[in-house]
Amino acid sequence: MSIFGMAQESADLGYDNDAPMANGEETHTVANEIAEVQGLQFEADDADDAAEGLDGEAEKAEEVAEAVEEEVAQERALDPTAAKLLHLAFKNIVGKNHAAKKLPAQESFNGTRSEARENTRIALEGIKETLKAFWEAIKKQFQKAYDTVKSWIIKTFSAAKRLKERAEKLQSKANDTVGTIEEKSFSFSGTKAIAIDGKYNEPSTLTAGLSKVRGIVKDTLEELKKGKVDDAVEKTIKEVEGTFTGSGATRSPSMEAISDAMAAIGKAGAVGTNLPDSVGDKKKFAEQYGTLNEISVTAIVGLPGGKAIIEVKPTVATSQGLERLTKILKSTRIMLGNDKYTPREVSEGDVKTLTTSQIDKVCDDVIEIAESIYGYEQQWKNRDNFMSKVIKETDQIVKDFEQEDDAKEGDQRKFRGYISAQVAFMRRAFNYQANICSYGLTTANAFLNYSERSLAQHKAK
């Protein structure tokens, strides 16, 4: 069943198990919280996937409306074969039950020419009503995705505080340990989370990777605290409001507001200098977000766990109309993804034992990562009011534009596509923030497990 169909019918739209008890029960308490954070991340990913799917269904419904609208404009009628194809296409988009409610029965197109024309007109009206319902479904799914991400990141803040306490205790214990390393290496099941480029046999490379994560988390959250992303989003909404309601007649926002929003998010992600031109299989990114001459893909690669911060942005400088601007918004994103398009498989294996000085450095990084994450808690709380305000203002623009006397069906159709893309743009922005916090936390936890296991290999004098 389609996502839209389910929404209409329902009216609703790991941690290292072998880590030693270095800090007693506290180690497992933190591990359980980390596991809960990871579970909430999966729920957030599902909600985000559903939102992306709903956007895709809305786009397909708009295409169907355009085709039927053309028939009505030329006073042509759908013949029985065309009506059958319409039913099939619409059912695949919105679900069988909703399609049956909004479209005349297929056999009704077997009558006279005038009856077929009238039924074609009725079908178009049913599709138009559905397109308005799509906006309501998109709003609900946006709120659902946001609420899920909120639960996820709030749990991340809580776990970060405990992780810091655990790191401080381990650091104190490591600094008090005087002796020799009894075992130079040991079996470790958390290799996937700490590996750099699929390798985990060189401690200095691994700890440098954690330091890199520390810098990214700290710099990203400090930039987000400045509120420039929120300011840019607010500016974009005002731009749309002035263009599509009241005296606005251009029906196409300028590229400036969108560019500012993209630049703010990109700066927060620390992506933009000394980066490779591609990440993984660039062609596959192009298949998803645009052709190779339309987008650029840059990234910070070589992060622990085979991760990368990836930015996809358009190469064009101007919007060239509302449809083009919509396409730009759909393709633009910054995300935490895989270093390769297909994740590198890393088998579990032996790692080298960290020295006490390396453990001390890991603990320093973990403490700062944790502090950066829970230090962002207040700024995230402020988003509740901001996100509610954003959706309320956007919804009002949609309603106002639908009442515009001179608004043509084609303009409204393009406008709905643009608004859906803008909402998705905002959803991806707050999802990225949660991803950065969660990735910092789970990576720090994996390195703390590695450090605890390493300290257990030291034999006191």
Across the 461 residues of the chain, what is the mean pLDDT of every consecutive 10-residue run? Answer: 59 43 55 79 83 84 82 80 86 85 86 86 86 84 86 88 93 87 89 90 94 91 76 76 65 68 62 49 63 72 86 68 77 80 72 95 96 88 78 82 68 80 83 89 94 88 58
Cα distance from N-terminal residue to C-terminal residue, the chain: 67
Q: Residue for token digits 């700490």?
A: 194
Looking at residue 370, its pLDDT comes to 95
Cβ-proximal residues to 22 (8 Å cutoff; 6+ apart), any chain: 170, 173, 452, 455, 456
C-beta of residue 2 within 8 angstroms of C-beta of residue 95: yes
Looking at residue 273, its pLDDT comes to 44
C-beta of residue 452 within 8 angstroms of C-beta of residue 163: no
Half-sphere exposure of 390 (CA within 13 A, CB side): 27
Looking at residue 334, its pLDDT comes to 82
Judged by DSSP in three states, 337 sits in strand
Q: How far, CA to CA in Å, does 50 sit from each of 3, 58, 219, 429?
A: 7, 12, 31, 16
Looking at residue 380, its pLDDT comes to 82
Q: How far, CA to CA in Å, does 370 sit from each of 17, 236, 408?
A: 21, 33, 53
CA 218 from centroid of its chain's CA atoms: 20
Judged by DSSP in three states, 196 sits in strand
* Domains in the chain, number: 1
C-beta of residue 413 within 8 angstroms of C-beta of residue 161: no
Looking at residue 239, its pLDDT comes to 75
Enclosing H/E stretch for 95: none
Q: How far, CA to CA in Å, does 371 sit from each of 22, 60, 137?
A: 22, 45, 38
Instruction: Quote the Cα angle for 159-162-168, to 5°.
Output: 140
Residues 304 and 350: their CA atoms lie apart, in Å, by 17
Give exposure, 362-377, as e/b (b: 16+ Cβ within 10 Å).
bbebbbbbbebbbbbb
Looking at residue 205, its pLDDT comes to 94
Residues 321 and 318: their CA atoms lie apart, in Å, by 9
Looking at residue 204, its pLDDT comes to 95
Judged by DSSP in three states, 312 sits in strand
Looking at residue 352, its pLDDT comes to 95
Enclosing H/E stretch for 250: none
Return the amino acid letter for 31.
A
Residues 200 and 348: their CA atoms lie apart, in Å, by 10
Residues 354 and 452: their CA atoms lie apart, in Å, by 9
Return the amino acid letter for 234.
E
Q: Which two tokens stand for residue 170?
A: 């381990």
Looking at residue 18, its pLDDT comes to 45
Length of the chain: 461
Quote the domain boundaries for residue 159: 3-460
Looking at residue 312, its pLDDT comes to 79
Q: Which two tokens stand for residue 54?
A: 């709903």
Half-sphere exposure of 39 (CA within 13 A, CB side): 8
C-beta of residue 54 within 8 angstroms of C-beta of residue 141: yes
Instruction: Quote the Cα angle for 108-111-112, to 5°.
Output: 135
Return the amino acid letter for 87.
H
